[in-house]
Homo-oligomer: A and B are copies of this chain.
Amino acid sequence: MKAVILAAGEGKRLRSHFNRPKPLVSLLGVPLIERNILTLKECNIKDFTIITGCYEREIKEYLGNGEKLGVNITYLHNRDWQLGNGVSAYTYHKNYRQNEKFILLMADHLFQEEVIKNFLKQAPKINQNEIFLAADKDLDKVYDVEECTKIKAEGNLARELGKDLQDFNAVDCGLFLGTKALLNALSQAISQNQYTLTAAVNLMAKQGKVKLHFIKGHWIDVDDPESYKQAEKILLQALVPPKDGFISRTINRKFSLKITKKLAKTKVTPNQITLLSFFTAVASSLFFAGLHPFWGGLLAQITSILDGVDGEIARLKFLKSKYGGLFDSILDRYGDFIIVIGMGYAWYFTAESLLALLICAAALSGIPMSMLFKEKFHTIAQTTYLPEKHDGLFRYLPANRDGRLFIIMLGGILNWIPATLIILAIVTHLQTLFRLFNVRKFL
């Protein structure tokens, strides 16, 4: 399926602020229109038609034929872009192929990937004499309802649309599945001197031909500096994976998202952050070994925070890679080992105790077991090991990385090295032992 992106308008309110054409305004390191293209690419859309108007040259110059983004882009120019976005949308009739359905969206409306995926799943049910429109019913959560196009919905049909509608129960998200019927309606509206997309959709709504898809998830129309800030907030919040550990969710993400927000604007890559996190672990180890446990502990927690940033940047800037995932996993283990060895060294240095060797060894051998167990389970059961599902109450044991590094931080700050290593050894092996007994019922 092809996507048609409307990028013809002037976007005055942001222009004055950023001094760039609105579709090319960078949000957390990625221009708005590029983010839309890459989000759609994740949904398996590879062919794009961009309708240009005001900033034809700049947009073409920046995106080219799409090659560097791994997609195909063609352009259509609308000279009369000032008339309204209906005229821009209608421009696509020049490239329209018989019986085609296409996605139609605005360059400056951002959507969560899941929203678009769910919308596209319904696409096959739409006939050529209808259109499909993403709408949001959750009006309390919609940003700046005032500015939205309102919808009066009956069931999953739109009865009327308009910016000044008084009686409404949903708003238009600006994401369409277009058909021949939409182009016809646009043509009809234009012939009546009505130049907005909403006018054409209204014509179809009156005939009961506008089906609605009520979205669940985030979207936003980036229109002015305030909504730009809100968009940043939404995108950053969406980076927290649903299966985050307790410490990660309640502590680390508060910091890592702030770091990610700063770093997103730079060219720093996820792998570079993985390396930085590893070197922070080395520094932590050296501070422990040099008998500065306070700083050792603090750096361990920073390691843990940075461990979140690489993934956040990768997801935020479409920089995920298989190698990055493997590199991160292996370096994280090395980071853990090195910190524990630093602590063991410190203990031995102050006490010269055989116990230091044995407890350090027990902690070292416990550390990789959580990952080993989960990965082996994945290979054997061909499904992901989910602590929430498979670990029962043991999921609260701080034996995963965020929990382990938090224990190390506390141990460092309180200067309780032996106790910390003992606790690490106990929680990691206890978790493995529990899993060995418990997992049988899932296999």
Contact = CB atoms under 8 A, between A and B. Distances in A.
Interface string A344-369: 11001100101011101110110011
A241 to B, nearest CB: 16
Given A341-B358, A375-B375, A375-B378, A443 B326 contact: yes
Contacts of A344: 357, 361
A352 B379 CA distance: 42
B361 A337 contact: yes
The majority secondary structure among interface residues of chain A is: helix
A61 B323 CA distance: 57
Interface stretch (A90-98, A191-199, A432-440): A432-440
Contacts of A326: 373, 376-377, 380, 436, 439, 443
Q: Please tell me the size bucket of the interface on A.
A: 35 or more
Contacts of A378: 375, 378-379
A371 interface: yes
Given A330-B373, A357-B357, A372-B375, A322 B380 contact: yes
B371 A443 contact: no
A379 B337 CA distance: 23
A330 B376 contact: yes
Nearest to A328: B376
A319 to B, nearest CB: 14
A325 B330 CA distance: 23
A349 B345 CA distance: 17
16 contacts: A323-B439, A323-B440, A326-B439, A327-B436, A329-B376, A333-B365, A333-B369, A341-B362, A348-B354, A357-B360, A360-B361, A361-B361, A368-B368, A368-B369, A371-B372, A378-B379
